[in-house]
Structure 1
């Protein structure tokens, strides 16, 4: 702020200035006319039309680099066969550590990062279907929906820590490469904590749902009578099916595809398992094509093949799947002696008794206004062991997307959610570590995800320019709220900068909960938001 004593000399200086009126100019027409050159004054022949840029020349740099540049391949390939011959625990730890390296590497041209997006550029934040040349964006296989927009996984997953979410500057702008549509959609990067547990929840839900269908078919065929059966798993209803022996009607199914496979990843619930998520992101966001995706072909025209080996994808899958669970500030407060001063400041610790009471009251309000009907506080995984590849047929590759079976893993790597999480080793008063999942009375794992892995219609306010995945333009998978206190901005495109905004954007199936939120007192809203802010991401340094 400028003090008043500075204003007097400035004003005096201004008042002392004298101004001279500008000369009167003749009317020469448009103010842009002075830049025009009469046709009669133009001299010389018209310059020749430039030839289209030869994009293939750019990728000759790879041969130049390999012929004698100092730079090297940054991502060393992992051998799948070697992983499968190791001791199981040794293989898991090795894959996790190698996956960590692959996640953080800034890949370069020698690794095959990027694709041809015109004018010699490898990266773009916007889809380029207009580039239709023989080695251009639109002809890359598999067809692209976006980017590539980065040279590392961590470049989009780093808020507030590694493997976290991303800000709006990291939003992915997408199109549907398989059909024409108007407009584009945006995707905010989600955090990756607890991914393996989420897949295990989905696997068990799928088993339960498909078993209900199969039993209904068997009963109907045996009795000769038709029946309507509710399809539900882990307390989540997906509507009902009508069965007349082998004829199954899915018209009243809700929030899931007719194959009854729970797909827990992406904002629309389009991807079923971690491995598919990893190789899809590598292709779309980085332009790093896995061998299992395209075989030995150079399908992105960058002179590099086998950019990510089967072992590389396994390592990245294990690394992502074995991420620690999100935690709460109350938990961090219980191990506050293990935290440094910066961490205490980041998470607003220590918590007072009043803070804890406010959080606990907010949790009760969360349930009372029916938020928990979709954001289910917890689910139990009966079998807490994650296998890669999965033991469940719907969550592994029977053949690779490239169409071959060569190189398919023959032995599963595995880890236990209760005992084998490597990050966040601080011991809680209960005896479990901060990274491990809590054991249930039945020996399973309690997954406090605050979600239901079901799609819901969220109303017109959130409807998108086009219907990605053909699930409905306003239909989205329930976002798991664990970690929400660390992952602003909110919603699928980061449009909500505060939690209150995120709630107020709810409509459709969530309209009633939004109206109940609006009816809360300011004190009740404050407690509810304090509870949500208590759900955080933490990664020990």
Structure 2
């Protein structure tokens, strides 16, 4: 059973580990840790009690606290990365302790808190935005210490994470259903059957099934997804399936806070004298906090809310809109944005950057209801990791933040996903969750995942205006630069952009700059 550790236990854990032989002295060595524990305490407040309660709001709030905590040495943050340092921007394969950490790390540790990299960069002056260029993450996937094989990753924003995961789950289910239906049809007709692998209007290759029924030959020619047909919506290479996997990877790699579910219980995998740094419950809380973040929005939508407040409440509504920092667009600006959206579709950008995709499943569940998006190796019976004791929330209703209110009246729950007339959730992420060949200009020196050095997941554009710099390594300082860097499958759209008249280019950029992150400052903030 995983425990919630208090300060006295941490001190005892450190003493217990004194007999272990570490490769190098830590930034604060074991003796110093014991001295530190006499007058200081760990800063982490573990989330085991909240997860046991199975209350989404309680778990969300505990995850919020974890996100903002600046962990210290007694928490186990960081590790010895040489020269007395606990953090590093450059992976240190030259040091045995970094190279031999369990499990392996490809970067950092980079910082002592999540919000060091995921900074506040939103309209509304609150919330968790995207990290600036100075906080790009440098990775060494080959762990060889060869700088030519290092890669950079631009820090993403964390809004609306439940939407892409639920969308990926539905798409994965539909692709696998096509496989089963094709096998059944081939068996019934006793002939070779081929079908396109299409879900949500997006093509992912095709499948061919040849008889006989008992041992059919199944050939999957996947495009933009691995042959297992699991859509992985996170990371620039589309190699992380779930918010939970994303969260625990960040704890481990970026913060040096080793999750029990990765390193094992009572194991000091990074030689810092501390064990059980992130409990399973802690990662459950962080997962639900990230999944419960508000969705991105647009200037047009925010401007509409301003008009609604003004129409209904007059001068008081205007004053409230000003307090909320809601933009006030001119008619010319609104017209330019709408023309730009048409141009966006006309030149083919929307072929990959799908403006909206509908999903039937409204409930985010931790653990996931989909077997390909959860870990079935965890101990059974525990809330937050047992499917029978899942913690859930409705993505069209339950997010705590971005409720636009006037008095006791809810004007719009801007943080929740919208519904269409059929009751489906609308995910306006401007992406397709598909891998694409992007040409030599965007190729890296190494192939990190085996998909190809110039193959990338379509970057979702929601929140674009607040998340400069752009592209996987932050090389583009403007949206125009990012478009010009496109090649490969997107060459025709890139060329069409370059042929646009200045007026049309201005409208297109007005539309793209209309895609923003908004986080209203609440009374608790």
The TM-score, its normalising length taken from structure 1, stands at 0.84
Maintained 8 Å contact 1:449/1:481:
yes
In structure 2, distance between residues paired with 1:316 and 1:528: 37
Maintained 8 Å contact 2:132/2:469:
yes
Matching residue of 1:5: none
Residues 181-190 or 510-519, more deviating: 181-190
Q: CA deviation at 1:383?
A: 1.5
**1:507 aligned to which of 487, 496, 508:** 487
Q: CA deviation at 1:432?
A: 3.9
Maintained 8 Å contact 1:159/1:167:
no
Q: Aligned residues, how many? A: 473
Q: CA deviation at 1:188?
A: 0.4
Matching residue of 1:95: 59
Maintained 8 Å contact 1:382/1:442:
no
Maintained 8 Å contact 1:379/1:446:
yes
Q: Alignment RMSD, CA only? A: 2.2
Matching residue of 2:237: 268
**2:101 aligned to which of 122, 140, 145:** 140
In structure 2, distance between residues paired with 1:224 and 1:175: 50
**2:453 aligned to which of 443, 466, 473:** 473
- Unaligned 5+ segments in structure 1 are 1-52
Maintained 8 Å contact 1:55/1:118:
no
The answer to whether structure 1 residue 284 and structure 2 residue 262 are counterparts is no
Change (3 A) 1:339 1:509: farther
Matching residue of 2:339: 361
In structure 2, distance between residues paired with 1:444 and 1:127: 44
Change (3 A) 1:431 1:229: farther
Matching residue of 1:317: 287
Matching residue of 2:170: 204
Matching residue of 1:25: none
The answer to whether structure 1 residue 460 and structure 2 residue 440 are counterparts is yes
The answer to whether structure 1 residue 150 and structure 2 residue 150 are counterparts is no
The answer to whether structure 1 residue 175 and structure 2 residue 144 are counterparts is no
In structure 1, distance between residues paired with 2:364 and 2:24: 48
In structure 2, distance between residues paired with 1:180 and 1:109: 26
The answer to whether structure 1 residue 83 and structure 2 residue 63 are counterparts is no
Change (3 A) 1:339 1:320: farther
Structure having the higher Rg: 1
Q: CA deviation at 1:406?
A: 8.1
Q: CA deviation at 1:503?
A: 0.3
Matching residue of 1:385: 363
Maintained 8 Å contact 1:143/1:177:
no
Matching residue of 2:499: 519
In structure 1, distance between residues paired with 2:323 and 2:237: 36
Matching residue of 2:202: 236
Change (3 A) 1:304 1:511: same
In structure 1, distance between residues paired with 2:246 and 2:35: 33
The answer to whether structure 1 residue 216 and structure 2 residue 199 are counterparts is no
Matching residue of 2:87: 123
Q: CA deviation at 1:84?
A: 3.8
Residues 156-165 or 366-375, more deviating: 156-165
Q: CA deviation at 1:58?
A: 3.4
Change (3 A) 1:56 1:436: closer
**1:308 aligned to which of 278, 286, 294:** 278
In structure 2, distance between residues paired with 1:54 and 1:484: 43
**2:130 aligned to which of 165, 169, 174:** 165
In structure 2, distance between residues paired with 1:524 and 1:269: 32
In structure 1, distance between residues paired with 2:405 and 2:492: 41
Q: CA deviation at 1:310?
A: 1.3
Matching residue of 1:299: 269
Q: CA deviation at 1:339?
A: 5.8
Maintained 8 Å contact 1:159/1:487:
no
SS of 1:335's equivalent in the other structure is helix
Maintained 8 Å contact 1:130/1:138:
yes
In structure 2, distance between residues paired with 1:467 and 1:405: 37
In structure 2, distance between residues paired with 1:358 and 1:315: 42
Matching residue of 1:62: 33
SS of 2:73's equivalent in the other structure is coil
In structure 2, distance between residues paired with 1:330 and 1:238: 33
Matching residue of 2:311: none
In structure 2, distance between residues paired with 1:127 and 1:342: 44
- Unaligned 5+ segments in structure 2 are 1-22, 307-317
Maintained 8 Å contact 2:60/2:285:
yes
Maintained 8 Å contact 1:194/1:324:
yes
SS of 1:513's equivalent in the other structure is helix
Change (3 A) 1:506 1:73: same
Q: CA deviation at 1:158?
A: 1.2
